[in-house]
Amino acid sequence: MRRVLTILAVVAVAAIVVIGLTQTGGSKSDGGPGYDLSEAKQRLQGAPAPLAELHTQASTLIGGGKPAFEQRLASLKGHPVVINKWASWCAPCQAEFGVFESVGTERGKEIAFVGVNARDKRPAAERFIARYPVPYPSYEDPDEAIARAMKAPSNFPVTLFVDAQGKTVFTHQGGYRSAADLTADIDEHLGS
């Protein structure tokens, strides 16, 4: 009986590991463990000024609420923007952050990436972005004022695609499983 329980425990642990790897993408090309933010910032050098400013604020939380966020979006006019609404407690958000690390680095010279940390506590969000760094900042949105202004659904995660004229052209609900999926949505909806 003890041997059967041991075998079952080993199988259960193996299944958890496999499920975890498939949900996070499991490959370095999708970011995650091994992602080097300093290297990413070097690769992003030479980006247009409004995008370069995002990269200098990589993996930081910015306060100021809706006015600060709207001011940032106004400064990005002329560039397509990908906005990712996330929370530290959201498992699908955790699973997709490697995708945003990778694509944000690959496409960050042509497309602005901005995060919105909604319904979260600042200390938890700071720990999260220290663990899952991305080459762009996130705006604090504890009461979802920014999310409501963007007409983002209340579920998590949500990614909005804003064209160069400032119009939201697509909303993706749920997490991205691969860099290829996010890149395909960028190409289809932002024409980049």
Listed by start position, the domains of the chain span 2-190
**What is the C-alpha to C-alpha distance for residues 122 and 50, in angstroms, rounded to an integer?**
25
Query: Cα separation of 99 and 56, whole Å?
Result: 20
Distance separating alpha carbons of residues 141 and 6, to the nearest angstrom: 46
Q: Which fold has domain 2-190?
A: Glutaredoxin (3.40.30)
Q: Is the pLDDT of residue 17 over 80?
A: no
What pTM was computed for the model?
0.83
Give the span between the Cα atoms of 108 and 25, in whole angstroms. Answer: 20
More confident: 18 or 96: 96
Lowest mean pLDDT among 6-10, 13-17, 115-119: 13-17
pLDDT digits (tens, 9 = 90+) for 90-134: 999 999 999 999 999 999 999 999 999 999 999 999 999 999 999
The whole-number pLDDT of residue 150 equals 95
Distance between CA atoms of residues 112 and 108, nearest Å:
6
- Rounded alpha-carbon distances, angstroms, from residue 51 to 18, 56, 140, 153, 157: 37, 9, 19, 26, 23
User: What pLDDT does residue 181 have?
Assistant: 98
CB atoms within 10 A of CB 188: 12
Q: What is the pLDDT of residue 34?
A: 80
Average pLDDT over residues 172-192: 95
Query: Rounded mean pLDDT of the chain?
Result: 88
